Amino acid sequence: MNREEKNQMIATLEEMLNDNKNFYLADISGLTAEENSALRRLCFKREVSLQVVKNTLLKKAFEKNDTDFSELYNVLVGNTSIMQAEEPNVAAKVIKEFRKKNDKPILKAAYLEESLYIGDENLSALADLKSKNELIGDIITILQSPAKNVIASLQSGGNKLSGIVKTLQERVE
């Protein structure tokens, strides 16, 4: 890779860092060609981008960025792949699902909406995060619940009230 190609790669990585609020750094070394293909197919199905990068080029892209990524410099050792998706938890779910049958990928770090998570021990918590759409759905459900309870109470109360009136009417006659 010559200097021009390296500069182009750094520019591409820097653009990716500016455009995406979510990315994961993972170690996929040691996967066989078949396992690597299976991981890439799973990523494609879940709309997760997977790209193997050189640590030095990624570090230079981090340094050029306005965001302080200095805490991630320590994880840039060995094989590093960047996984990114629109939703913050999708890449973590892909890693977790793939690791049911394999030892890799290992989560090195994640950057989600201005928060850093370093280490593989954060994988379960990241996979359990709810997406923005899931949170909006939960809020709508919570907001609808009291209205549904009031309507149900009024309907059942109406039936009780009509039963009481009918009983009183029959007594009077």
Q: What is the pLDDT of residues 40-59, one digit of tens each?
A: 898 898 888 888 888 888 88
- Token pair, residue 58, equals 């990624």
- At 79-130, the pLDDT tens digits run 888 888 888 888 888 888 888 888 888 888 888 877 788 888 877 778 877 7
State the pLDDT confidence band at 161, using cuts at 50, 70 and 90. low
Q: How far is CA 126 from CA 24, 76, 119, 130, 146, in A?
A: 10, 20, 11, 9, 31
- Distance (Å, rounded) from C-alpha 114 to C-alpha 107? 18
Helix (H) or strand (E) holding 27: strand 22-27
pLDDT (average), residues 133-139: 79
